[in-house]
Amino acid sequence: MNPPFITECETYRTVERAIEYLRDHAREQPRLADVAARVGLSEFHFQRQFSEWAGISPKRFVQYLTKEYAKEALRRCEDVLEAAYAAGLSGPGRLHDLLVTCEAVSPGEHRSLGEGVAIAYGFHATPFGECLIAGTPRGICRLVFVGPSGRAAEIEELQRSWPRARLAQDQAATGRLVAPIFDPANRTKPLHLWVRGSNFQIKVWEALLQIAPGELASYERVARTLGAPRASRAVGAAVGANPIAVLIPCHRVIRKAGDPGDYRWGLTRKRALIAREAAARDATMRTGLLTA
């Protein structure tokens, strides 16, 4: 097996254990030595490994895991999401940096269940664990993190989502798809998504594309944005059914009280995604201020 693959996945598992420990012992404000011991590393190696992954020290990272930070991010995003959606940026859906485009399958394609569609899939390491990514000539149709049930379960779920499609594993082709996803600075052309869902699900996923990294929105806020203020539960169901992690950023939707809510790939991973994006956003803003 490729050593970099092992290293990246092992690094995330270390980070995940550290985040869980920091969350469980937040009131005690654990020392670096305590967290390092928990994950089985020396203080020096833990500090270096975590900082390389997060871009900041574990001590600074903790602030982005708090409910207080989440509430602040919700307030910051309150008007931004509504303005972006009202401006018509969702047809077709586009991420804030305009480097992701989202296209829904047509009604006929939806009914055909993928008949005649060739889907290439592969498994790859990411900063947040192993993922399965699948693509067609029309765009990326699935991106999920591999769960405890393993790779076979993810392949079965992909087949259930596109029951009449032809599946083929192609690591080289999918490697070219996954490479720019977790390093947007190297994204030289738009990433195209091709999604299959109900009309309401598509509207929710398009709304999520307007939430920038480092920002958060509540389920209620997304529902109001869609003109359906009483549909927060339906929004939650659509968020949970999102087939393309990270690029359709369902991890950026939380409860209005500041709690993370649910996440089909685990709450610790959701917290890791939110906090790492928030740290990167703040670092970018500081850089901008220094160079202005």
List the pLDDT tens digit at each of the 292 positions of the chain. 444 554 788 999 999 999 999 989 888 889 999 999 999 999 999 999 999 999 999 999 999 999 999 999 898 877 666 665 555 544 433 444 447 888 999 889 888 999 999 999 999 999 999 999 999 999 999 999 999 999 999 999 999 999 999 999 999 999 999 988 987 666 778 889 999 999 999 999 999 998 988 899 999 999 999 999 999 999 999 999 999 999 999 999 999 999 999 999 999 999 999 999 999 988 888 776 555 4
Distance CA 243, CA 241 (A): 6
Distance CA 188, CA 180 (A): 8
Distance CA 212, CA 209 (A): 8
Q: Is the Cβ–Cβ distance between 247 and 255 less than 8 Å? A: no
Tokens of 166: 């032809």
pLDDT number for residue 3: 43
The closest of 79, 34, 32 to 57, measured between CA atoms, is 32
Distance CA 107, CA 67 (A): 41
Q: Is the Cβ–Cβ distance between 54 and 47 less than 8 Å? A: no
Residue burial 140-156, b: 16+ Cβ < 10 Å; e: rest: bbbbbbbbeeeeeebbe
Residues with active-site annotation: 250
Q: Residue 21, SS3? A: helix
Distance CA 77, CA 214 (A): 10
Quote the crossing angle between the two packed helices 32-39 and 43-54, to the nearest 10°: 90
The closest of 267, 129, 24 to 35, measured between CA atoms, is 24
pLDDT number for residue 160: 96
Give me the residues paired with residue 94 across strands.
Answer: 101
Q: What is the 3-state secondary structure (H, E, C) of 244-271?
A: ECCCCCHHHEECCCCCCCCCCCCHHHHH
Which residue shows structure tokens 């958060």? 216
